[in-house]
Amino acid sequence: MTINVLFVCYGNICRSPLAEFVFKDMVEKKGLQRKIYVESAGTSGDHLGDPVDRRSAAVLAKHGISCAGKKSRQILKSDFEEFDYILGMDEMNMEELYYMCPNPGNCIVRPLMDYAGGGYVEDPYFTLNFDKAYEDIFAGCKGLMADIEKRLVR
């Protein structure tokens, strides 16, 4: 059994790639690469094919994590069939995800921060606080990992 996880933000250049690569790092450190598959996407096509924002890449690098080769992609309706977890970063992302979801209940569609006490990850593209976005995302990913590990034990 593989659990497929998709992180989503607006453009797939700042927050969702941060989450993708933070979570991939956690998965690797726990040796769960064969059990958990991770990707990220954006609700918008504004940055389609663009690399990760250099400031997000720098924050990841500061923590010893590479995002080399990642290109932005837009979420597809088929993602709701292929992924077990689809995790949005803010209220606008969640509204778009709920609107797009063809079959509610087929997968878990929630804000990432539900796994860290609630709230949303502010967009560092506008706040310029990439370290805060990393900290919030790390906390959300840690809680998500705990939830997924419970599912894997069953």
Percent of the chain at pLDDT > 90 equals: 92
Q: Considering only CA atoms, which of 13, 70, 86, 10 is closest in space to residue 44?
A: 10
At 104 the pLDDT is: 74
Q: Phi and psi dihedrals of 8, rounded to 5?
A: -135, 135
Instruction: Tell me the pLDDT of the chain averaged across its residues.
Output: 95
Stated pTM of the model: 0.96
Q: Is 123 helix (H, G, I), strand (E, B) or coil?
A: coil
* pLDDT exceeds 90 at position 2: yes
Domains and CATH numbers, the chain: 3-153 (3.40.50.2300)
Q: Which residues are designated catalytic?
A: 9, 15, 123
Could you tell me the strand order of the sheet in which 108-111 lies?
36-42, 3-9, 85-88, 108-111
DSSP classification of residue 89? S
53-82 per-position pLDDT tens digit: 999 999 999 999 999 999 999 999 999 999
Q: Is 151 helix (H, G, I), strand (E, B) or coil?
A: helix
> Binning pLDDT at 50, 70 and 90, where does residue 154 land?
low
The two tokens of residue 100 are 């797009």
98-141 per-position pLDDT tens digit: 999 987 777 899 999 999 999 999 999 999 999 999 999 999 99
